[in-house]
Structure 1
Amino acid sequence: MSDDITSMRGILHRVDETGKKAGLKLNAKKTKVMQLKPENSSLYDFKIDQTVLENVEDFKYLGSVKTIDGSCSKDIKVRKGMAKKKMIELNNVWKDHNIPIELKLKLLKCLIWPVMIYGCEAWSQKKDTDKRIEAAEMWFYRRILRVKWTDKRTNESVLEELKTERTLLNLINARKLKYVGHALRNHRTSLMKTVCEGRLDGRRRKERPPMSLLTNLTKACGLSLHQIVQKSQNRAGWQQRVRSSIATANTASGDADR
Structure 2
Amino acid sequence: MFTLNKPQVKILLNEKGELVTDKKEIVELFKKHFETLLNRQEQGSTNEEMTYYTVEPDIGEPKQEEVARIIETLKNNKSPSENKIPAELLKKGGKDLINTLHGIISEVWKRETMPEEWNTAILCPIFKKGDSMLVSNYRDTGYKVFTSLLLERINPYATEIVGEYQCGFRKGKSTVDHIHTIRQIAEKHYEYNKDLHLVFIDFKQAYDSINRKELWRVLRCLDIPQKYIDLIKMCNSKTNLKVKYQQEMSEKFEVKSGLRQGDALSPMLFNIALEWVVRTANETRKMEVGEIETILAYADDVIILGNSRNEVKQTTIKFLEAGKIMGLEVNQEKTKYMCISRNDRNDLNLKVDPYIFEKVEAFKYLGININSKNNVHEEIKERVASANRCYYSLLKLFRSKLLSRESKVTLYTSYLRPVLTYGCETWATTKGDYAKLCTTERKVLRKIFGPVYNTETRTYERRHNNDLQNLYGRPNILSYSRSKRIEWAGHVWRAEGKIIKRVTEGRIVGKRPVGRPRTRWKDVIVKDLKMIHDNVKMEDANNKARWNEIMVAAMDLHGPLSC
Q: 2:537 aligns to what? A: 227
Q: 1:200 aligns to what? A: 508
Aligned residues: 250
Q: 1:242 aligns to what? A: 551
Kept in 1, the 8 Å contact 2:387–2:420? The answer is: yes
Q: 1:32 aligns to what? A: 336
Kept in 1, the 8 Å contact 2:541–2:547? The answer is: yes
Q: Gaps spanning 5+ residues in structure 2: where?
A: 1-303, 452-459
- Going from structure 1 to structure 2, the CA distance change for 1:57 and 1:41 (only over 3 Å counts) comes to closer
Which residues of 2 match residues 30-69 of structure 1 at below 5 A? 30-39=334-343, 43=347, 46-69=350-373
Kept in 1, the 8 Å contact 2:351–2:357? The answer is: yes
Q: 1:162 aligns to what? A: 471
Q: 1:175 aligns to what? A: 484
- The structural deviation recorded for 1:154 is 4.4
Q: 2:385 aligns to what? A: 81
Q: 2:317 aligns to what? A: 13
Kept in 1, the 8 Å contact 2:342–2:373? The answer is: no
Kept in 2, the 8 Å contact 1:2–1:8? The answer is: yes
- The structural deviation recorded for 1:110 is 0.9
Q: Provide Cα deviations, 1:12-45, integer angstroms capped at 9, x if missing partner.
A: 1122112221233212221111112352556365
Q: 1:184 aligns to what? A: 493
- Going from structure 1 to structure 2, the CA distance change for 1:245 and 1:156 (only over 3 Å counts) comes to closer
In structure 2, how many angstroms separate the alpha carbons of the residues matched to 1:124 and 1:87? 25
In structure 1, how many angstroms separate the alpha carbons of the residues matched to 2:502 and 2:353? 39
In structure 2, how many angstroms separate the alpha carbons of the residues matched to 1:253 and 1:38? 33
- Going from structure 1 to structure 2, the CA distance change for 1:101 and 1:201 (only over 3 Å counts) comes to same
Greater share of residues in strand: 2
In structure 2, how many angstroms separate the alpha carbons of the residues matched to 1:146 and 1:253? 22
Greater share of residues in helix: 1
- The structural deviation recorded for 1:71 is 1.5
In structure 1, how many angstroms separate the alpha carbons of the residues matched to 2:433 and 2:465? 21
In structure 1, how many angstroms separate the alpha carbons of the residues matched to 2:432 and 2:555? 21
- Going from structure 1 to structure 2, the CA distance change for 1:37 and 1:88 (only over 3 Å counts) comes to closer
Kept in 2, the 8 Å contact 1:94–1:104? The answer is: yes
In structure 1, how many angstroms separate the alpha carbons of the residues matched to 2:344 and 2:560? 44
Pairwise CA RMSD of aligned residues? Answer: 2.9
- The structural deviation recorded for 1:117 is 0.7
Does residue 130 of the first structure (1) align with residue 434 of the second (2)?
yes
Question: Percentage identity across aligned positions?
Answer: 23
Relative to structure 2, which stretch is displaced further, 29-38 or 172-181? Answer: 29-38
Kept in 2, the 8 Å contact 1:180–1:192? The answer is: no
TM-score norm. by structure 2 comes to 0.41
- The structural deviation recorded for 1:142 is 1.7
Kept in 2, the 8 Å contact 1:35–1:68? The answer is: yes
- Going from structure 1 to structure 2, the CA distance change for 1:64 and 1:53 (only over 3 Å counts) comes to same
Q: 2:400 aligns to what? A: 96
Q: Gaps spanning 5+ residues in structure 1: where?
A: none
Pick from 419, 436, 441: which aligns with 1:115? 419
Kept in 2, the 8 Å contact 1:80–1:136? The answer is: yes
In structure 1, how many angstroms separate the alpha carbons of the residues matched to 2:400 and 2:414? 18
- The structural deviation recorded for 1:166 is 5.9
- Going from structure 1 to structure 2, the CA distance change for 1:193 and 1:246 (only over 3 Å counts) comes to farther
Kept in 1, the 8 Å contact 2:475–2:555? The answer is: no
Other structure's SS at 1:202 match: coil
- The structural deviation recorded for 1:63 is 0.7
Kept in 1, the 8 Å contact 2:482–2:528? The answer is: yes
- Going from structure 1 to structure 2, the CA distance change for 1:30 and 1:101 (only over 3 Å counts) comes to same
In structure 2, how many angstroms separate the alpha carbons of the residues matched to 1:124 and 1:207? 18
Q: 1:144 aligns to what? A: 448
In structure 1, how many angstroms separate the alpha carbons of the residues matched to 2:489 and 2:470? 36
In structure 2, how many angstroms separate the alpha carbons of the residues matched to 1:118 and 1:70? 17
Matching residue's letter, 1:32: K
Runs (4+) off by over 6 Å: none
Does residue 4 of the first structure (1) align with residue 313 of the second (2)?
no
Matching residue's letter, 1:180: A
Q: 2:65 aligns to what? A: none
Kept in 1, the 8 Å contact 2:337–2:357? The answer is: yes
Q: 1:217 aligns to what? A: 525
Matching residue's letter, 1:207: G
- The structural deviation recorded for 1:243 is 1.6
